[in-house]
Amino acid sequence: MIGKLDLYRVFSIVAKNNSFSRAAKDLFMTQPAVSQAMMQLEKELGTRLFNRTPKGVTLTTEGSLLYEYTNSALGLLDAGEEKLLEFKNLTTGQLKIGVGDTISRFFLMPYLEAFHTMYPNIKLQMLNGTTSEICNFIKSGEVDIGLCNFPIEDSTLQLTDCTEVQDIFVCGEKYKTLASKSVSFEDLLKFPLIFLEKKSNSRKYVEDYLFARGIRIEPEFELGSHDLVLEFARSNLGIACVTKEFSKDYLQRGLLYELTLTESIPTRSIGMCYLKSVPLSRAALKFVEIIEEKQERKRLHSRIIK
């Protein structure tokens, strides 16, 4: 049984050719099959669509009306298929990423550059937020993928570790003497502390680790960005908790000094997250592949060096 849409496609070709036989050649069908299909369509619609003559067929008034709508509908379907093919081939589309400023600057940029070089016609949309905000963006469909500070406890999200980072404490010139000796967590409490704001996942990770050891922190400064934390420490306003990998410029230039702790804070991860229950778009899948491939190459390179 030929489906209704196929009947309309056959009808359109017959109408263009004014002939069952010529339409049959275009459709790679037999003439009887084309004739039978048109009889089936006329029966289903309850009206005659063609005037049959020895020289071919012509459209009835009803057939002409239907032909206008059929051509329009089939044209829209063809355009839709072409647009889907463009999305499949990544010649058009959009990729929406949720990420914080610091991770975007120090981790994400090389991957965005690689993706944009490979797929320049894909529009990139970035939505800024904390880890908890980004998780909400993902669940509400506002972004496809999130790049966040781990750990995250959420069974609805697919989580992939990308790179390890180390939380450290740093100071400016005023407290430089602290960098020449081992400092305990208890010692840190004697100085003004500079932390990210409470809703930051990286702040929560360090705070939870210290609290498990009976240490409750009460920072003098709680700031909204990692760059501000670095600048406050450089200005000698206190001892700052920062991410080492994101502070290398300050440390290498001697603007800040890393404190040697008697007990190092365990490393944590930065990673990707997206909904388990919703298939990723083709653009999002390709972006995930780029990150995973580059991370795997880094791991292999690290093993070779070791």
Q: What is the pLDDT of residues 26-52, one digit of tens each?
A: 999 999 999 999 999 999 999 999 999
Position 74 scores a pLDDT of 86
- In angstroms, the first-to-last Cα distance of the chain is 66
pLDDT at residue 218 tops 80? yes
Residue 301: the pLDDT is 62
Average pLDDT of every residue of the chain? 91
Average pLDDT over residues 187-205: 95
Distance between CA atoms of residues 266 and 244, nearest Å: 12
Q: CA dist 82 to 71, 123, 185, 297, Å?
A: 16, 18, 62, 36
- pLDDT at residue 84 in the model: 75
* pLDDT, position 176: 94
Q: What is the pLDDT of residue 303?
A: 67
Give residue 296's pLDDT band: very low, low, confident or very high (50, 70, 90).
confident
Q: What are 77-90's pLDDT values in tens digits?
A: 877 777 777 677 78
Report pLDDT for 1.
43
Quick check: 2 pLDDT over 60? no
**227, 221 in Cβ contact below 8 A?**
no
User: Within its chain, how far is the Cα of 208 from the centroid?
Assistant: 29
Q: What is the pLDDT of residue 295?
A: 78
Supply the pLDDT for residue 294: 81
Q: Output the pTM of the full model.
A: 0.71
Q: What is the mean pLDDT of residues 104-126?
A: 92
Pair 273, 159: CB distance under 8 Å? yes
**In the prediction, which pLDDT does 40 show?**
94
pLDDT surpasses 60 at 127 = yes
Residue with tokens 């000698």: 236
Length of the chain: 306
Q: Who wins on pLDDT, 72 or 171?
A: 171
